[in-house]
Structure 1
Amino acid sequence: MSAPQKGDLTDTEKELLQVIAAGNVQEASRLLGSKDVRVNCLDEYGMTPLMHAAYKGRADMCKLLLQHGADVNCNEHEHGYTALMFAGLSGKTDITWMMLDAGAETDAVNSVGRTAAQMAAFVGQHDCVTVINNFFSRARLDYYTKPQGLEKEPKLPPKLAGPLHKIIMSTNPNPVKIVMLVKENPLLMDVEALEKCRKVLELICEKCIKQQDMNEVLAMKMHYLSCVLQKCGSFLKEQQDKLDGLIKSLLKGRDSDGFPVFQEKFIRECIRKFPYCDATLLQQLVRSIAPVEIGSDPTALSVLTQAITGQVGFMDADFCTTCGEKGAKKRCSICKMVIYCDQACQKLHWFSHKKVCKMLQEQREKHEAESASRLQKQAKEEGPGEKTLSNILNLDCNT
């Protein structure tokens, strides 16, 4: 069949777009087998079936279209939108990841000069922004699992590629979470394995800086992860306690307010050790963190998280006090001031939190009492004879 032209659709292709809108995967699969259907056909706006499926947030449909050879980087849209941009606008992180895994270009811009990440941020889809900014394909890591040049063995044993890729793809840079990811995989609970992973991360960091389209954000992330893995390795070598001691050190809060001083100092040290001193990102991080007294805001973790994930603005989600995972819902039943993923995270943090729990409870109760007192005072000042806004509105409506 001829190359697709905008609006030049066969009847079957028109039917395919309708089926995609309805979400009927089985019928779409049947139509894609038809001879007069081009998987990259274009509607009058230059949208492909994949763009339609991504915008509608239909993951199964996107998967089917990609299996049939859909072009993830088609740029025929009248405003230069790509399938990745539509995925980001939909707010579906699984579809965003799917487009990236299929080879979507992250630096393509639309007619107003915005990338997919910038478009997603513009409409408040910050989770999609994080996925785009943190994507690292498995194929790029698998390169290190094969001997290169005169090497007799690869830099990274193939069995470690999966566990390491999981750590790389994590969008949560909290060191406790990273140590947990190491701890949960027996293959990584080995000093030699951790050292090999650390070296590969540093090689990727170097490559990110020295490549033509330098990626300082990814370089910083790889360096930071290598520092955490190095700490895990040295801890395993000295302590032999399955990293429980390291997690406790990272969580231990000072007596006055429970602030994790060791964690703060560790993250600051990781950033300071970034080997490329001229990097703009490093200088920005240092300027943001250096003047801040330990225990004050912004913390090193919050500054680093914003740099790595690209998330800006107000976040309405709650983060686990222990591991930093988003969407935590379990509050401490006593003070109700700290929040956790689950009972396991709460139990891990209790040794430190119990020192300040009563103090936090008293602070909360004092604040609630002051708020109640203010409301009572306000009600008395208004008096019973004073018109409320609702009374005024009702009066206006009735006249």
Structure 2
Amino acid sequence: MEAAQNGNLEEVQRCISIPGVRVDCLDEHGMTPLQHAAYKGRPDIARILLNQGADVNDRNHEHGYTALMFAAISGNTEATRLMLEAGGSTSHVNSVGRTAAQMAGFVGQSQNSSMINNFFSKEDLDEYTVIRGHEKEPKLPGHLVQPLHTLILHSNLHPVFISMYLQEHSDLMADVTKIVRLLDLLCEKMMKQKATNEVMAMKFHYLSAILKQCEKCWKSAGNLNAWIKSLVKGRDEDGFAEQQEKLIRASVRDFPYIESQLMQQMVRSIAPVKIGQSPTALNILSSAVNGQKFATDDESCCTCGQLHAEKKCSVCKMVKYCDQKCQKLHWSTHKKFCKELADDYVKMMKRLKEEQEKEERKKKENEKEKEKTEELTKKLEKIAISPAEG
């Protein structure tokens, strides 16, 4: 227990080799060594404990926390993925009624929250690679399991990002009809299983809708270049990518299970918003599937929506991109507004400078006022003391 708490890998390995050592022993708070490893963000230690049979769903903690909950709030995505792959329950709630995904969101670990919400086991795809019953071939060729699984786990729902991924993984597009059929089947499974999962059902449906559109371009051109360019293209008046918006709105509207509360909530959120205004359909979809943080993150690539975009347009410094490829794709739209944005940037920096100078002046004035008050206080103290001394 101490070795797991302190993150001592060698000591953990030594301890579990001792005959009779209980891998799920509890401390005074009901925590297991696995939960300590998860909380410390130590997937290396957690993996060793899991290999020794540690219970990933142990619930003896005084507040009902599981190993997945501890990994989720640790901020370590590898530890969180490990707990999920080991069978950590995403539906368990703690003493305050929160799931692991909700706990991660509550403490600001949006990547972990998204990972939990979007998790789909690779083994769940493997079962479709086996020929069953009267089938002549499996629903999913074995070599497509990995690229499809990666696509499913992506939290970025931007249609350009998905289309670029499909462009890079042409093996998926070569069997696109099978992939679409399987995604539709998975959507149905999520809605009809005992523990309905509307979030994943919506995601499978949305991916299927994107793939169906990609299929049209692929069949005619053998690539997705024209399709991706059409998605990126902004309208003349404001640069807003109208085709993306219409695509996402249509996919939500066409969700086949109209009794779904998630679908009804999304439609109510999208319907009153005019195309081009906020929140966009992508904002609403991302919020529903990934959580609120992803819907509001402004550090994303202007072209594909990937988070933590670090490159900026060198002229206006107002638009961010993943890389030169994304910047080049967006240039035909951005060039119409670059100068205007550059002027806005200059004004913004000037305003920020003025605010900083104002804040500094105010700080100096407060310091002077404080000095005067201290001097006056000292004088009053002397006056108060003088008669007594006399």
Partner of 1:229: 211
The offset of 1:370, in angstroms, is 5.5
1:72-113 CA distance string (max 9 Å, x none): 011111111100110111111111111011001111111222
Partner of 1:355: 336
Partner of 1:391: 368
The offset of 1:178, in angstroms, is 0.7
Q: Supply the distance in 2 between the matched residues of 1:314 and 1:179 (Cα, whole angstroms).
A: 20
Q: Which residue identity does 2:217 align to in structure 1?
A: F
1:201-226 CA distance string (max 9 Å, x none): 11010111111211111110000001
Larger radius of gyration: 2
Q: Supply the distance in 2 between the matched residues of 1:127 and 1:325 (Cα, whole angstroms).
A: 12
1:40 aligns with 2:21: no
- Distance change >3 Å, CA 321–CA 387, structure 1 → 2: closer
Q: Give 2:231's match in structure 1, choosing from 247, 250, 261.
A: 250
Identity of aligned residues (%): 51
1:199 aligns with 2:181: yes
Q: Which residue identity does 1:239 align to in structure 2?
A: A
Q: Give 1:214's match in structure 2, choosing from 181, 190, 196.
A: 196
- Distance change >3 Å, CA 315–CA 291, structure 1 → 2: closer
Partner of 1:92: 76
SS in 1 for 2:300: coil
The offset of 1:348, in angstroms, is 2.0
Q: Supply the distance in 1 between the matched residues of 2:300 and 2:144 (Cα, whole angstroms).
A: 29
Q: Which residue identity does 1:234 align to in structure 2?
A: K
Q: Supply the distance in 2 between the matched residues of 1:314 and 1:205 (Cα, whole angstroms).
A: 23
Structure 2, unmatched stretches of 5+, are: 378-390
Residue pair 1:256, 1:356 contacting (<8 A) in 2 also: no
The offset of 1:27, in angstroms, is 2.7
Q: Supply the distance in 2 between the matched residues of 1:313 and 1:341 (Cα, whole angstroms).
A: 17
- Distance change >3 Å, CA 71–CA 293, structure 1 → 2: same
Residue pair 2:287, 2:295 contacting (<8 A) in 1 also: no
SS in 2 for 1:189: helix
Residue pair 1:54, 1:86 contacting (<8 A) in 2 also: yes
Partner of 2:388: none
Which stretch of structure 1 is more off in the superposition, 363-372 or 161-170?
Answer: 363-372
SS in 1 for 2:20: coil
Residue pair 1:255, 1:356 contacting (<8 A) in 2 also: no
Partner of 2:100: 116
- Distance change >3 Å, CA 214–CA 394, structure 1 → 2: farther
Q: Supply the distance in 2 between the matched residues of 1:313 and 1:305 (Cα, whole angstroms).
A: 6
Residue pair 1:96, 1:128 contacting (<8 A) in 2 also: yes
Residue pair 1:40, 1:70 contacting (<8 A) in 2 also: yes
Q: Which residue identity does 1:170 align to in structure 2?
A: H
- Distance change >3 Å, CA 30–CA 357, structure 1 → 2: same
- Distance change >3 Å, CA 336–CA 36, structure 1 → 2: same
Residue pair 2:35, 2:66 contacting (<8 A) in 1 also: yes
Partner of 2:327: 346
Partner of 2:41: 57
TM-score, normalised to structure 2, is 0.90
Q: Supply the distance in 2 between the matched residues of 1:306 and 1:315 (Cα, whole angstroms).
A: 8
Q: Supply the distance in 2 between the matched residues of 1:151 and 1:259 (Cα, whole angstroms).
A: 46
Q: Supply the distance in 1 between the matched residues of 2:273 and 2:298 (Cα, whole angstroms).
A: 25
Q: Equivalent residues in 2 for 1:114-263 (5 A)? A: 114-190=98-174, 193-240=175-222, 242-263=223-244
- Superposition RMSD in Å: 2.2
Q: Supply the distance in 2 between the matched residues of 1:41 and 1:293 (Cα, whole angstroms).
A: 57
User: Matched residue pairs, number?
Assistant: 375
Q: Supply the distance in 2 between the matched residues of 1:369 and 1:102 (Cα, whole angstroms).
A: 53
Higher helix share: 2
The offset of 1:396, in angstroms, is 4.3
1:179-216 CA distance string (max 9 Å, x none): 111111231232xx111111111101011111121111
1:40-68 CA distance string (max 9 Å, x none): 11112111110000011111111111111
Q: Which residue identity does 2:368 align to in structure 1?
A: N
Q: Which residue identity does 1:309 align to in structure 2?
A: N
1:222-256 CA distance string (max 9 Å, x none): 0000111111111101223x211111111001122
